Amino acid sequence: MKLLEGIQVLDLTNVLSGPFATLHLALLGAEVIKVEPPGSGDLARVLGNVPKLNAARMGTSFLAQNSNKKSLTLNLKHPEARLIFKQLAQGADVVVENFRPGVMKRLGLDYEVLRGINPRLVYCAISGFGQSGPDALKPAYDQIIQGLSGIMAINGDERLNPLRCGFPVCDTVGGLNAAFAILAALYHRERTGEGQSIDVALLDSIMPLMGWVAANLLIGHQQPVLMGNDNFTAAPSGTFATRNGHINIAANKQEQWEALADVVELPELKTDPRFRERDMRKKNRKDLTPLLEAKLKENDTEHWVEVLNEKDVPSGAILSLEQALDQEQVRHRNTLQRIHAEGIGDLQLFSLTAQFEKTPAGIDAPPPRLSEHTGQILKRLGYSEEKIEELRRDQAI
């Protein structure tokens, strides 16, 4: 049995934050019905670096986030399409949307309406800034939120700042936050029978990830210091040059620092007053790093990773994305799962990364073609072939 078997989710979301949330529900076994506008579908269907897939509305960005889902096309501006959605909502457990605040109300499908149809419904709205407040109606993309959250201000170093994260971290974390909140609301419903609305903002979602940095400012009154690849909590802890590239070393504990000094054959540094204690090493890291790198450049990254880890000094190579996706540990964990998609071929997609002992989860079906399940879902609601064809002619579906 899947963890969320029997849970039905109506997914009105688009692009990344919402689809990432519902992806996790789908991987856990929920039936996720992706409600898309006819003809165009989710914008992510045309986003990616393979023009042929974009033309088929199966862009790589869409493929990445939509395994295990079903696609139903509804023109929610059409009264019959709205009626179909309300019929679905009667039996659904969850509705997820990531429109700007007010859009669902204008469609006559907001939480107040839907809970009148189904009081057990969990309704999750994801937006850039939340459903209320002075910025609620402002447009929000991931990079806008990165800038407003403070993330770009603390990334990089004195040569390159501000600096965005290299992937849409705010959208992604917002999606995870929404999935977590939906599961919590479903648990509450199990105990009380009550549904409820959930308001998830991307800005709210990302800021707690900077908890340590924010605590230093809010409690310790210390402004963030731009440190590039160095770790502000310890030294030596960061990225260092080797003979053939770079290595990450995290000698965060005193015993790790001392083991590192021995491994690189600089035992005298352990008693050097500039480096003997943790706080002094942090203060003098610009003196320490060149001394360590002079030794590290005598051998390759692979050598140092092996000998340092043997001495319990955490270290690792800095891999390209291609190398990272193909490393043995990732294969062992089945982080990527292979699934066949008709007309495309075999795809490697990220599966659920939490491994459950009793209720394993993963990819059972490839991302759906646009409107692939419209007929199937409408027949389940009692619509005849003739009525479905009429709805198509009327551009309701």
CA dihedral 288, 303, 310, 291 (to 10 degrees): -10
The catalytic position among 93, 110, 171, 230 is 171
pLDDT higher than 90, residue 52: yes
**Domain end residue (candidates: 292, 317, 342):** 317
Examine the domain organization and report whether 250 and 203 are in the same domain.
no
Full residue range of the structural domain in which residue 378 is found: 8-208+331-393
Dihedral in degrees, nearest 10, Cα atoms 125, 129, 133, 136: -80
Mean pLDDT of 175-187: 98
Kindly report, residue by residue over 185-226, the tens digit of the pLDDT.
999 999 999 999 999 999 999 999 999 999 999 999 999 989
Which residue among 286, 317, 348 closes a domain? 317
Asked if residue 59 belongs to a domain, the reply is yes
Q: Is 23's pLDDT higher than 90?
A: yes
* pLDDT tens-digit map of 137-147: 999 999 999 99
In a domain, 216, yes or no: no
CATH at residue 139? 3.40.50.10540
Residue 232 has pLDDT above 90, yes or no: no
Give the Cα separation of 331 and 347 in Å (integer).
15
pLDDT (tens digit, 9 = 90+) per residue, 297-351?
Answer: 999 999 999 999 999 999 999 999 999 999 999 999 999 999 999 999 999 999 9
pLDDT digits (tens, 9 = 90+) for 366-378: 999 999 999 999 9
Instruction: Give the pTM.
Output: 0.94
Find, among 40, 33, 47, the residue nearest to 94 by Cα: 33
Contacts of 251 (CB under 8 A, 6+ apart): 234, 235, 236, 237, 257, 259, 260, 313, 314
Q: What's the chain's average pLDDT? A: 96
Whether 304 contacts 314, CB under 8 Å: no
Residue among 47, 279, 237 at smallest CA distance from 142: 47
Residue 68 has pLDDT above 90, yes or no: yes
pLDDT at 1: 85
Query: Residues near 311 by Cβ (< 8 Å), separated by ≥ 6?
Result: 259, 260, 262, 263
231 in any annotated domain: no
Mean pLDDT of 25-45: 97
For residue 206, what are the contacts with CB-CB under 8 A and spacing of at least 6?
145, 146, 149, 151, 169, 170, 173, 174
| 175, 17 Cβ separation under 8 angstroms | yes
What is the spatial distance between Cα 307 and Cα 9, in angstroms, rounded to a whole number?
A: 50
Asked if 171 is an active-site residue, the reply is: yes
